[in-house]
Amino acid sequence: MVENTGATPGAGALRPLNKPRPISIEVNEAGQPVTIGDGRRRWLISTVTQQWRVEDEWWRQQPVRRMYYECVLEDGRRLTVFQDLVTDRWYDQAG
């Protein structure tokens, strides 16, 4: 296993774009998102059009394990969210 150096790649000179934004999600029994909230109001998810899993950097101490969902909200907007399978937190992913 590669030791975590504690260094963020390119910190200081580089500012990552499209950083995930924490959101609040309610899931059904199957673990799929049903509503999305931003702290002020909630939206119903009408359909989940795609879902895929990303497993990366498994050789690091903090691997990346995410379950992505592409959702269509009740007002027609499309949103890509993911569940961080390491921390169990949900994020909105732009880009």
Partner 1 sequence: MATFGRLSSELLPLTIAEHSFYHKCLPSGLRRRPILHVACVLLPHFSWQVEVLRHPELRGRPVLVLETTGSKTRVFDCSPQVTDCPQGMPLQEAMARCSGAVLLEADLPRYRVIFERILDSLEQRSPEVESAGLGCAYVDVRGLEKLYGGQVRLAMALLHAVPAPYQAQLALGPGKFPAYVAAAMAAPGQVRQVSEDTQRFLAEFAVDILPVSWRTRTRLRSFGLHTLEQVAALPVGPLQAQFGPEGRLLWEFCNGIDRSPLMPRRPEVTVTERLTFPAPVVSMEPVLTATETLLRRAYARSEVRGRCARVATLQAQVMRGPVWERRVAFSQPAGGKQRAFFAIKSSIESLVLPGPLENIALTLSGLTGDIGQQESLFADVRRRENLSQALRQLEARLGKKPPIFQVRDVEPWSRIPERRQALVPFVP
Measured between its terminal Cα atoms, the distance across the chain in Å is 30
The window from 17-25, 29-37, 40-48, 70-78 that contacts partner 1 (CB under 8 A) reads: 17-25
The least CB distance from residue 93 to partner 1, in Å, is 6
The least CB distance from residue 28 to partner 1, in Å, is 25
Sheet holding 42-56, edge to edge: 21-22, 90-92, 78-84, 64-73, 42-56, 33-37, 24-27
Please tell me whether residue 14 binds partner 1 under the rule CB under 8 A: yes
Contact status, residue 82 vs residue 20, Cβ threshold 8 Å: yes
Contact status, residue 81 vs residue 92, Cβ threshold 8 Å: yes
Please tell me whether residue 18 binds partner 1 under the rule CB under 8 A: yes
Measured from the CB atom, the residue of 34 and 79 that comes closer to partner 1 is 79
Name which position in 42, 54, 60, 74 contacts partner 1 (CB under 8 A).
54
Amino acid in position 54: V
The window from 3-11, 28-36, 40-48, 71-79 that contacts partner 1 (CB under 8 A) reads: 3-11
